[in-house]
Amino acid sequence: MSDTRILAGVHPVDLGDGVHAFFTTGAGGVSPAPWSTSGGGGGLNLGLNVSDDAARVAVNRSLAAERLGAPVAFATQVHGDVVLELGAAERALWAGRRPPGSAGEGDALVTSERGLGLGVLVADCVPVLLADPEARVVGVAHAGRKGVLAGVVHRALDALVARGADPARVRAAVGPAVCGRCYEVPAAMRDEVAAAVPEAFATTSDGTPGLDLPSGVVAQLAARGVVATRVERCTLEDPELFSHRRASAAGTTTGRQAGIVALR
Ligand SMILES: [Zn+2]
């Protein structure tokens, strides 16, 4: 089975032996505009609750699962810091004929279960993938502005450590998100985030206050001794990726791409 034939456009990342990890783009699915991108063909919208047809989202999710070679669980993300721990029961549920739409409310997922994909849905927020190949534990986190402030990346890492991970061994990938040149915010909002995470301080290409959340997340991980690989793609600038802010500015909605990780 060729990796490139199934879901052309995914961005693979190396998180170590026995770990399968990648970021999807907007391409390779069955959704029409506005849940598609310029990547070609139908849109690979993996998010429910963005007005796309649930049956199409189910097809798109099954395409992502086929690409991974395992079922992929997604949470209902609420910009908080709750970590959901998934195991054998959840793997059976998500591998079933009628997988649930959500693993529950939370912004991070962790598992030691082999053959269960964890997915994090984004369209400007920062998708984070974590793995300790030796301790055999993986996780994902959804880090938008509120999640960065709430410390969701720390909570996800804590959950990996509780399952035997060593931060010095953990490999992380910080996926496509809106960059600091594009993410304009009110000055007070920049001050609030930068007070907690100075590395997130940014100035946009228009010279206005901004936030660089990917750099903020990389710094949060570095503070714990975790070295992250960063995918240098900006969702707002890259027409192959879904961007909530780009869609909102155009008066429309859009889809959600995902970061996905699993133990083989
Ligand atoms: Zn940008």
Q: 178: how many CB neighbours lie within 10 A of its CB?
A: 28
All residues with CB under 5 Å from ion ligand 1: 179, 181-182, 234, 236-237
Please indicate whether residue 4 or residue 257 has the higher confidence score (pLDDT). 257
Find the 45 Cα to ligand 1 centroid distance in Å: 21
Query: Token pair for residue 184?
Result: 């304009």
Find the 159 Cα to ligand 1 centroid distance in Å: 31
Q: Is the pLDDT reported for residue 6 higher than 70?
A: no
The pTM (predicted TM-score) of the whole model is: 0.96
Chain segment 183-230, per-residue pLDDT in tens = 999 999 999 999 999 999 999 999 999 999 999 999 999 999 999 999
* Domains of the chain listed by start with CATH number: 10-263 (3.60.140.10)
Band (pLDDT 50/70/90 cuts) for residue 9 is confident
What are φ and ψ of residue 130, in 5° steps?
-130, 145
pLDDT at 39: 60
DSSP class of residue 89 equals: H
Find the 260 Cα to ligand 1 centroid distance in Å: 22
Beta bridge partners of 177: 234
What is the maximum alpha-carbon separation in the chain? 51
Label residues 69-107 b or e (16+ Cβ within 10 Å = b): ebbbbbbebebbbebbbbeeebbebbeeeebeeebeebb
Q: Is the pLDDT reported for residue 1 higher than 70?
A: no
Average of per-residue pLDDT across 101-129: 98
Q: Is the pLDDT reported for residue 3 higher than 60?
A: no
Mean pLDDT value across the chain:
95
Beta bridge partners of 190: none
